[in-house]
Structure 1
Amino acid sequence: MDSKTNTGVVQLPLSAVREAGVNLNRPECVLSTAAGDLYVSDKAGGIRHIQPGGSARLIGAQAGLIPNGFALLRDGSFAIANLADDGGVWRVQRDGAAAPHLMEIDGVGLPSVNFVWLDGQERLWICVSTVRKGDHQFRRDIADGFIAVHDRHGTRVVAQDVHWTNECRMDPTGTYLYVNETFGRRLLRFRVAANGDLSERTVITEFGKGTYPDGMAVDEAGHIWVISVVSNRVIRVSPQGGQQIVLEDSDAAHIDRLEAEYLANRLSRPMVYDNHSKKLQNITSIAFGGPDRKTAFMGCINGSSLAVFDSPVAGLKPVHWNW
């Protein structure tokens, strides 16, 4: 690793990983609840609900909607980040009805939206990775992503010039917001004001060769679990920036090839999707579930199921946990 070691959790073998859910369609993001329900984004244009017994149903199938990150709302509906070029945040009801929800900020249309997350105050955080369209977005010299927040006062941008904004979460105290910069290969932290404004932008840690931070979750000890696409790495990061690999399934030659393309600003979507691994299928997200929130469910972009492992540390309880 390229940072001081974060001790306390040992690296797990790939044999510790098992499977949950079958016949999923680009299950990039996953949420879990206290009742044992799993909700997974589905490329068909909705959310796949996996019930505790294992049966599954698709909620919604909206043409033109490419679900990525999503949030479970108090009324049981979903706020969905639309990865399609026309972007925006959509609302999908339990009966499958879908409609645009947040499509502009101050009169400017929201582009492709990567992620949305609901905090403890039920504010919706919106992450836009880049305002550029096309394949070659994964450059080291472009930082045009931003973060917005939606609350009872409306929707506004609270951070700009983020280097490919991906998932975000708050620390256990609600004081700080963590954000992954995927192709900036950094974990950022902002102080959150009472009104949702962000300040004190800080780089908590920088990641090295082969690590492209995508999804994340926070555990009860306040450490951040970062998921790296491409290298299939799970990295536990301390609040001080120490890193420890918890799980990895990568191919050294593949990492070398992509590193050369990344450094030359030629990295493209097909390259990122080209998975070379033994078991993990380009993991992208993590959610802690199970009765004690020590079961880690990981979404992915190449597989048709969720990868699962047992964590020695419980995940932080999400706001939707008992909904």
Structure 2
Amino acid sequence: MMIPEVAVKVGAALGEGPVWDIARECLWFVDIKGHRLHRFDPKTGALESTAAPEEPGWVVPLRDGALLVGAKAGVHRHARGAFTLLHAVEQDLPGNRLNDAAVHPDGSVWLGTMDNAEDAPSGGYYRLHAGVCTALSPKPMIITNGPAFSPDGRTVYLVDTLERTILSAPVDAEGHPGVTRIFARVPPGMGYPDGPAVDSAGTVWVGLFGGWGVVRFAPDGTMLGKVEFPVANVTKIAFGGADLTTVYATTARKGLSQGELAAQPAAGDLFTFTVEVPGLAPEYPSV
């Protein structure tokens, strides 16, 4: 049985973007509203934290030990304590920020933006490859989440959070998405779909903000079930460990009342559980 337990106390306002670093055998994730980058070492249980510029939506490790960090102004490189802006994103939309990202098997980084006030449909998706950041075609959304990719990289999953909709699109040989279609919907009363991840069998795992868990979908969009959590806001999972069967899940305190926080003392912490089907080996960007 998949029973989540706290891996480490964090108390994040908005924990997000967990990603396993194979080379360094650790997990990276962010606290967006807390302006923090976190590194968790499962061997020692140690949590190291670094202040981030503005609001970091995601973090991706690089082969050389540096990090790519998606903050409000755009994509940064973080190395030896310094943040360097590499690519400004949506300078014409100062109310937007970067929110989630994933690395395609071809080494490109796909990232999404959102309206930080969670009101206007101004969020979009971009592909960063060979030093060029290109806008992608899905319709504007208030809150984008994802993307995530099928095991062969030929399908991308995109989440329209406030519409409770998960979209999919084919990815061509040049790494560009085709026409999107509705892959699955999260029914009312089950929370809002947050960050997606895909395992080696092609199962799509989606965090549920306000939904007390993580929901799983088969590659054909059929809902397979839900992993129940003791906290309401589960934002995203990542597969880690030596065999990629250890799941890590970020959670959030954002939006919870004082009474709800008292009833959910682990809200904002990093959770873990194990699975039988391993995840996909994380890719390193070639940007």
Shorter-chain TM-score: what band? 0.7 to 0.9
Which stretch shifts more, 193-202 or 182-191?
Answer: 193-202
**Aligned counterpart for 2:75 among listed residues 80, 89, 94:** 89
Give the whole-Å Cα distance in 1 for the aligned partners of 2:268 and 2:18: 13
The answer for unaligned runs of 5 or more in structure 2 is 254-266
Query: Secondary structure of the residue that 2:215 maps to in structure 1?
Result: strand
Is 2:185 the partner of 1:206?
A: yes
Structure 1 moving runs of 4+ over 6 Å: none
Aligned length: 265
Q: Distance in 1 between matches of 2:158 and 2:6?
A: 28
RMSD over aligned CA atoms reads: 2.3
2:9 maps to 1:22: yes
Q: 1:257-276 CA deviation, whole Å, 9 max, x = no partner?
A: xxxxxxxxxxxxxxxxxxxx
Q: Distance in 2 between matches of 1:49 and 1:144?
A: 31
- Give the Cα–Cα distance (whole angstroms) in 1 for the partners of residues 252 and 63 of structure 2: 27
- Whole-angstrom CA distance in 2 between matches of 1:305 and 1:233: 14
Q: Percent identity?
A: 23
The residue identity in structure 1 corresponding to 2:6 is E
Distance in 1, matches of 2:59 and 2:243, equals 23
- Alignment pair present for 1:120 and 2:78: no
Q: Which amino acid aligns with 2:12?
A: N
Q: Hey, what's the Cα distance between the residues in 2 that align with 1:23 and 1:203?
A: 35
Q: Cα distance, 1:197 vs. partner?
A: 2.0
| 1:309 paired residue number | 273
**Alpha-carbon distance change, 89 to 33 in structure 1, aligned in 2, over 3 angstroms:** closer
Call closer, same or farther: CA 1:290–1:238 in 2, change over 3 Å.
same
1:86-136: CA deviation from partner (whole Å, max 9, x where unpaired): x3222211x22112221136x756731111222222111110134xx53x5
Structure 1 regions of 5+ residues with no counterpart? Answer: 1-11, 250-278
Partner of 2:245: 294
Alignment of 1:250-289 (within 5 A): 279-289=230-240
8 A Cα contact 1:227 1:235, kept in partner: yes
In the alignment, the residues of structure 1 paired with residue 39 and residue 196 of structure 2 have an alpha-carbon distance, to the nearest angstrom, of: 21
Residue deviations 1:20-54 (CA, integer Å, cap 9, x gap): 12245343221223453111214553422122211
Q: TM-score w.r.t. structure 1 length? A: 0.75
Contact 2:18 2:248 (8 Å CA) reproduced: yes
For the pair shown, the structure with the greater C-alpha radius of gyration is 1
SS in structure 2 of the partner of residue 67 of structure 1:
coil
Question: 2:85 maps to which residue?
Answer: 100
Residue pair 2:107, 2:284 contacting (<8 A) in 1 also = no
Matches within 5 A, 1:142-161: 143-152=121-130, 154-161=132-139
* Matched residue type, 1:18: E
TM-score (normalizing by structure 2): 0.83
| TM-aligned CA deviation for residue 214 of structure 1 | 0.5
